[in-house]
Amino acid sequence: MSEVKSTTNHYIEYARELNVGNLSKFALAVCIVCLLILTDTSGPSPLVKYNHIFNSDNISIVFFITFLCIWIIFKIFQDSIKIQRVTVWAAIIFAYLFSDALSYLGLSSSGGITAMAVAHLMIAFLFVERLKYQLLLIIANGVFFFFATNIGEIAPNVFVIALLSVMFMSAIVSYTMDIQRQNVFYAQQKIANQVEELNRALDVKSVFFGHMSHELRTPLNAIIGFSDMLKTMDDKTLTREKVHEYAEYMNSGGNYLLSLVNDILDQNKLEAGGIAVSIERVDVCELLQNYVDELNPISMDKQQQVNLHFDDEALLFDTGQRLFKQIIYNLLSNAQKYTPEKGIIDLSAKRVAENIEISIQDNGKGISSEIIQKINKTSIPVKTHFISKAEGTGFGLIIVQQLIDRLNAKIVVCSEQGKGTTFKMHFPIINEM
């Protein structure tokens, strides 16, 4: 119901814009017609009652001034919607009166109501107002003209058929034009909605692939790092235990890559723009230790110190383990990337009320307030692909924000450029997803 009302309001706004576009030209056109009538030097017609007052010269002057004032008011108050609407209705009413006056002069001189026919058709073509009010105005003007001519002692049989014909044709044209304008408007709306849906679909796919490309880098870097370490080790340090340990890390990273590739190949997930969440019981302390070990080659390469702090030996809660890993991986890899050589990264976990609080703190270059605002405002991945190709724009952190939302968790970012960044996440212990 609200959607229909909103569409109707949009159509009214569309009609108003059409009126605004036509009113200025119409008012000037009527002013020109009045000036042309003034060039007639025949003077007042003796056939018209009260011709010393009611004649073509006086009518032209009065309506020239009237429509000139309408044009000036429209130009001065063109930013006021209410005044625009009142001005449009005033222009329509005065145009009917102008045509009535000219038609009365025509009938008094054994002519016809051509002026009325022209005015009615011009108004039907140029102005889009609410149809029922416009039809009522056509009928009211016809009734007014009929009684006005009777007072002026013009016999009805001279013009009544022509008057009814003008009213009927004007109503038909008004109705037809209203239907056509509505068809055009709703066709434009339909096209606009389809374009919006297409753009949204493209956005979802772009974000998904941007998401995946970002996620692939971290485990690949870890795998390459461990393999490089195996290649560069000499025979004395290359023990069976080391090979087994590094092989475990590489296997873990490979399995993680495989799960990401499966998401790319899954068309249902791609079209939905989301990833299914599989809830399972996890030990936070054990997982965080594994993640730090897997990313150890990057820390060793930059001689960074990663410290783990746990209040308890085991912190258990239910969550989506793979999404949880993506979150920690992203934040840890960002901390490693933007922390200088020999820098310090602190990773802690503790129980706070009904939540598990995980904190990642570094002494890197920090994050700009602009990127923090992007993270806090990004609840849906509509436009994030526009920044996915730039380095250091916070795309990985926007992904983290989206994953945090999927796990019903919260994240708070505190950062000062040049002094470091702290991420605090609160994961609910009892997860109701």
CATH topology for the 198-428 domain: Heat Shock Protein 90 (3.30.565)
- Counting every residue written for the chain, the total comes to 433
Highest mean pLDDT among 92-96, 130-134, 232-236, 368-372: 92-96
How does strand 316-320 pair with strand 344-352?
unpaired
Q: Which phi and psi (to 5°) does residue 349 adopt?
A: -145, 140
Cα–Cα separations (whole angstroms), residue 93 to 87, 283, 332, 358: 10, 79, 72, 72
CA dihedral sign, ordered 48, 53, 56, 62: negative
Q: How confident is the model at residue 259 (pLDDT cuts 50, 70, 90)?
A: low
Q: Give the model's pLDDT for residue 426.
A: 93
Is the pTM here over 0.75, yes or no?
Answer: no
Neighbours of 38 (CB within 10 A): 14
Residue 369 CB contacts under 8 Å (≥ 6 apart), including other chains = none
More confident residue, 160 or 393: 160
Nearest to 359 by CA among 288, 265, 291, 266: 288
Could you give the count of Cα atoms lying within 13 Å of 248 in the half-sphere of its Cβ? Answer: 10
Q: How confident is the model at residue 433 (pLDDT cuts 50, 70, 90)?
A: very low
More confident residue, 269 or 292: 292
Neighbours of 285 (CB within 10 A): 17
Q: In degrees to the nearest 10, what's the CA dihedral of 213, 215, 216, 222?
A: 150
Average pLDDT, the chain: 78
Q: In degrees to the nearest 10, what's the CA dihedral of 416, 422, 423, 429?
A: -150
For residue 423, pLDDT beyond 50: yes
Q: How confident is the model at residue 39 (pLDDT cuts 50, 70, 90)?
A: confident
- As a whole number, mean pLDDT of residues 373-395 equals 45
* 63 touches 103 (CB < 8 A): no
More confident residue, 24 or 398: 24
* 263 touches 194 (CB < 8 A): no
For residue 391, pLDDT beyond 50: no
- As a whole number, mean pLDDT of residues 260-265 equals 61
Could you give the count of Cα atoms lying within 13 Å of 393 in the half-sphere of its Cβ? Answer: 11
The per-residue pLDDT for range 316-335, each reduced to its tens digit, is 888 888 888 888 888 888 88
For residue 153, pLDDT beyond 80: no
Cα–Cα separations (whole angstroms), residue 218 to 64, 133, 283, 295, 328: 77, 67, 22, 8, 11
Residue 259, token pair as written in the block:
């799960």
* 274 touches 406 (CB < 8 A): yes
Q: How confident is the model at residue 263 (pLDDT cuts 50, 70, 90)?
A: low
Q: Which phi and psi (to 5°) does residue 75 adopt?
A: -70, -40
Residue 12, token pair as written in the block:
């009214």
Q: Give the model's pLDDT for residue 425.
A: 92
Q: How confident is the model at residue 270 (pLDDT cuts 50, 70, 90)?
A: very low
- The share of the chain scoring above pLDDT 70, in percent, equals 79
More confident residue, 292 or 15: 292
Of 250-264, 274-288, 395-409, 410-424, the poorest mean pLDDT is in 250-264
* 15 touches 133 (CB < 8 A): no
Q: How confident is the model at residue 272 (pLDDT cuts 50, 70, 90)?
A: low
- Residue 428 pairs in a beta bridge with 355
Cα–Cα separations (whole angstroms), residue 298 to 135, 144, 214, 302, 335: 78, 90, 16, 6, 11
For residue 390, pLDDT beyond 80: no
Every domain of the chain and the residues it spans? 2-158, 198-428
Q: Give the model's pLDDT for residue 103.
A: 86
Residue type, 75: K
Neighbours of 81 (CB within 10 A): 12
* 267 touches 205 (CB < 8 A): no
The per-residue pLDDT for range 201-230, each reduced to its tens digit, is 677 666 666 666 666 777 777 788 878 877
